[in-house]
Structure 1
Amino acid sequence: MTSRKMVDTLKERIGIKNREYTFDSKKDTLRIVNSESGKGITVELPGIIARWENKKEEAVDEVVYYVEEALSVMGGEHSLEGSEKRIFPVIRSASFPSEAAEGNPFLFDEHTAETRVYYALDLGNTYRLIDSVMMKKEGWAADRIRHIARFNVRSLSTDVKTDIVAGNTFYFLNTNDGYDASRILNDAWLKAMKERMAGTMALAIPHQDVIIIADVLNDTGYDILAQMAMSFFASGKVPVTALSFLYEDGELEPVFILGKNKTREDF
């Protein structure tokens, strides 16, 4: 599957009614605009193609759904006032755009060397990132949004699934509510997980819909975590980072783990 073929596939599936497409071959991206509102979304084609190699049409279905949901809310009027319970933080990579296509700066904070924290208004099946225009229009201060979002993320479920591989315990949080990676901002939960560790606590947020926490008891545990992080990163709809982190004294420290090119079946 080439980028050009993927562009043609997406255009066929999404359609041309009220839609404008711009393919940037240098950046390998496709910009899709709602012609009525003039607003749009840019998708990175390499990630979509990588998922297509594994999931075929299901990967295209996911992108089409994501794009159509995003375009359907663009241009609508959405208010922060009265929507306090629907304001959440979202984790993005450090390379994620700092402003909307229209030039409006997003509200975001630096998180780690690999990640940033943006803030979003939940709209049900999608959400809108909060930008300076939205804040100014309603007279909301940035600290107010930060406080509300951090409070709301602590109310989200933190149920995890557990797996033990080569003597290391792995915990997976994957609710698919759009804010799984955001749970990394729940300090109380991370501290509680730390108390469960028999060894070193390491974690990964490869994409927005999963957190992997590892209780590492041997070097093999680091290798497995690195492979998991890379696999999830390649398959995620909104990739964040393939790097892992060590959690010590309430701080996250990015760590590069050089895997030994083994598969799970090797352990």
Structure 2
Amino acid sequence: MKMTSLKLKKILQERLSDARYHTSYNRDKDTFRIEWKESKQGMTITLPNVVAKYNERGDEAIEELVDHVTEALRIMNETQQLAGMEKNIYPVIRATSFPDKTKANKELVNKEHTAETRIFYALDLGKSYRLIDKALLEEEGWTEERIHEIASFNLRSLDCDYNKDTVAGNDFYFIAKQDGYDASRILNEAFLEEMKANIKGEMAVAVPHQDVFIIADIQNKTGYDILAQMNMKFFAEGRIPITSLPLIYEDRKLEPVFILAKNKPENS
């Protein structure tokens, strides 16, 4: 059966049928919205995007969407708290362009990282997570320093096993655990220093999207070009893109670089 937006709308109405939900279809924008009747909180789905995924992956794409929507709506309707959930708090890396407020206009707790990246904080809820906002901190009397310390401690408990690939004499290490915090490993300074001690050439890292962290041991002139191409490909394919620019790691500092012609890096 050829999928269309109208057919998809009907499928979603059936699959997400619940007396507590209100659904609506915007014909002009070709979007489908589902929200809690009482709070009006919900989400809007751009139907052509899902149709495209269906054409690639079939029913799996719809199953994935329904799971995602159901989980998101559940979280929206629950009251979360931080006390007693300390072990479920982690830092997440996002692009500097990432919104610092929720759709409900609540300011998210965040911290500077590099010229390309910022640190936000997530309360892990199992299948999904909630970014922590300042209102939640105030409700529980927590400081931003406390949330950062707890998240950093929990991050260090995540394993940093990697896969290694050698291309044209340069070594590339990939962490892709699919736990939501792959890119967050860039904040594990002890791990970065451990890798630096074993690097033969120059050390560069990349966080093209949330679900991968790349460390590069650049040993010859083509290394930077390979890293740039690799990073751009990951960036284009990522579910939550972060930055297409690699970062040089030197003296415990991260500096974004543009990869120019002749394989020469230049600080951004």
Bin the TM-score by the shorter chain: 0.7 to 0.9
| Higher RCO structure (Cα 8 Å, ≥6 apart) | 1
Of stretches 181-190 and 66-75 in structure 1, the one that deviates more from structure 2 is 66-75
Q: Look up the equivalent residue of 2:140 and give its one-letter code.
A: E
The superposition leaves residues 91-130 of structure 1 with CA deviations (integer Å, 9 ceiling, x where unpaired) of 1111111111111101011211111111111111111111
Counterparts in 2 of 1:52-67, with a 5 A limit? 62-67=64-69
For residues 43 and 124 of structure 1, the distance between their equivalents in structure 2, rounded to whole angstroms, comes to: 23
Note closer, same or farther for the CA distance 1:214–1:77 as it changes in structure 2 (3 Å cut).
same
Identity of aligned residues (%): 51
What's 2:205 paired with?
Answer: 203
Q: Look up the equivalent residue of 2:201 and give its one-letter code.
A: G
What's 1:129 paired with?
Answer: 131
- Structure with bigger gyration radius: 2
For residues 232 and 158 of structure 2, the distance between their equivalents in structure 1, rounded to whole angstroms, comes to: 26
Note closer, same or farther for the CA distance 1:176–1:76 as it changes in structure 2 (3 Å cut).
same
For residues 116 and 133 of structure 2, the distance between their equivalents in structure 1, rounded to whole angstroms, comes to: 21
CA displacement at 1:53 relative to structure 2 = 8.6
CA displacement at 1:12 relative to structure 2 = 4.1
- For the 8 Å contact 1:170–1:214, the answer to whether it is kept is yes
Note closer, same or farther for the CA distance 1:215–1:74 as it changes in structure 2 (3 Å cut).
same
What's 2:173 paired with?
Answer: 171
Tell me the matched-pair count: 255
Please list every run of 5 or more consecutive structure 1 residues that lacks an aligned counterpart in the other structure.
Answer: 261-267
What's 2:100 paired with?
Answer: 98
Confirm whether residue 75 of structure 1 aligns to residue 82 of structure 2. Answer: no
For residues 154 and 24 of structure 1, the distance between their equivalents in structure 2, rounded to whole angstroms, comes to: 48
Counterparts in 2 of 1:14-163, with a 5 A limit? 15=16, 17=18, 18-20=21-23, 33-41=35-43, 62-163=64-165
Q: Look up the equivalent residue of 1:257 and give its one-letter code.
A: I
For residues 225 and 12 of structure 1, the distance between their equivalents in structure 2, rounded to whole angstroms, comes to: 42
CA displacement at 1:40 relative to structure 2 = 3.3
- TM-score, length of structure 2 as denominator length: 0.81
For residues 97 and 27 of structure 2, the distance between their equivalents in structure 1, rounded to whole angstroms, comes to: 18
CA displacement at 1:184 relative to structure 2 = 0.7
Measured on the aligned residues, the alpha-carbon RMSD in Å equals 3.2
What's 2:190 paired with?
Answer: 188
DSSP-derived class of the 1:232 partner: helix
What's 2:256 paired with?
Answer: 254
Please list every run of 5 or more consecutive structure 2 residues that lacks an aligned counterpart in the other structure.
Answer: 263-268
For residues 218 and 50 of structure 1, the distance between their equivalents in structure 2, rounded to whole angstroms, comes to: 41
Of stretches 214-223 and 185-194 in structure 1, the one that deviates more from structure 2 is 214-223
